[in-house]
Amino acid sequence: MQLTAQALANYLKGDIEGNPEVVVSTAARIEQGRPGTLCFLANPKYEQFLYTTQASIVLLNRSFVLTGPVTPTIIRVDDAYQSIAAVLDLYNSMRAFNKKGRSWRANVSWCAKLGKAVWVGPSAYVGSKAKIGKNTKIFPNVYIGEGVKIGENCIIYPGARIYQGCIIGNNCIIHANAVIGSDGFGFAPTADGSYKKIPQMGLVIIEDDVEIGANTVVDRATMDATIIRKGVKLDNLIQVAHNVEIGENTVIAAQTGIAGSAKIGKNCMFAGQVGVAGHIVVADKVQVGAQCGVHTSFKKEGEILIGSPALNAKDYFKAYAIFRHLPGIKKQVDDLEQKMLST
């Protein structure tokens, strides 16, 4: 897809500085810009590349002040980061998802219901009584179980598995090899020391505008539902256990694990490799640092958590100021002990 600077400026409601007829066909990072590419500058750490890039067009914030000559055409916008996201979304919508119908190699139950302009790729399986909303794209080798409901304008990438009865809203993206609705980890100890499996009879409900990364697993509830609320974004390699609820617009980075029946609030941000214990509550707008161990509930909105076990960031840094000196303090104690023994 090719776009002129003028077309991009019109789309983004931006102002052009330079040639309005210059054409771009793809996007690139500003340090790797070349003719025919669109770049952006939002982080001042990369300003040096603005004056050397060979890109054809660069998006800049209106407030940015140039300190030297530039080669590319400039489009001034209110927020360069949001603008490049909008352009990439435009490229994406025009790129690959115009397919519809079903492959002759797909296995679609006769009693499944497919909406208008649905595409089902080769070797995909759609079970009985499943319902797929209009314009949803089912890539090859996807498994959609009996009674699954998927809304409109969704993308289910290759190898994803959606077990029976699960519900997915509109405008959702599920990446390759994600598993939705596998059994929760429920086992009851018996008198002889073995474990008896507890049947997992619930389901998974994923609301609108959710994105779930590759190889992420969302377990079905023991009873009722595991719920992923509207606008949640889950990275790759995340484990969401049975009966968990994640609030609206929460984002969670890779390798995080959330144990059963934990409740995560709205607009939270979890960094990578966070561990959340079961049956706890995390309030709205809480930010959790990488490798944090959240072992207890945090009910104060907007807290920042660090460490394992997790502490409020201010308390953590106060404690860190002490325990980072412990080796020196121990040496002082050992020296004093030796002096006392020698007298």
The label of the residue with tokens 């998802």 reads 97
In the residue annotation, 279 being an active-site residue is answered as no
CA dihedral 169, 247, 165, 179 (to 10 degrees): 90
DSSP reduced 3-state for 252: strand
d(CA 25, CA 19): 16
Among 70, 96, 93, 79, which Cα is nearest to 42's?
Answer: 79
DSSP reduced 3-state for 3: strand
Please tell me whether the peptide bond between 309 and the residue prior to it is cis, using omega within 30 degrees of 0. yes
Count of Cβ atoms closer than 10 Å to residue 60 Cβ: 24
Count of Cβ atoms closer than 10 Å to residue 194 Cβ: 9
Q: How many residues does the chain have?
A: 343
Which one of 242, 279, 295, 325 is the catalytic residue? 242
Count of Cβ atoms closer than 10 Å to residue 50 Cβ: 23
Q: Distance from first CA to last CA of the chain, Å, rounded?
A: 86
Provide the annotated active-site residues. Answer: 242
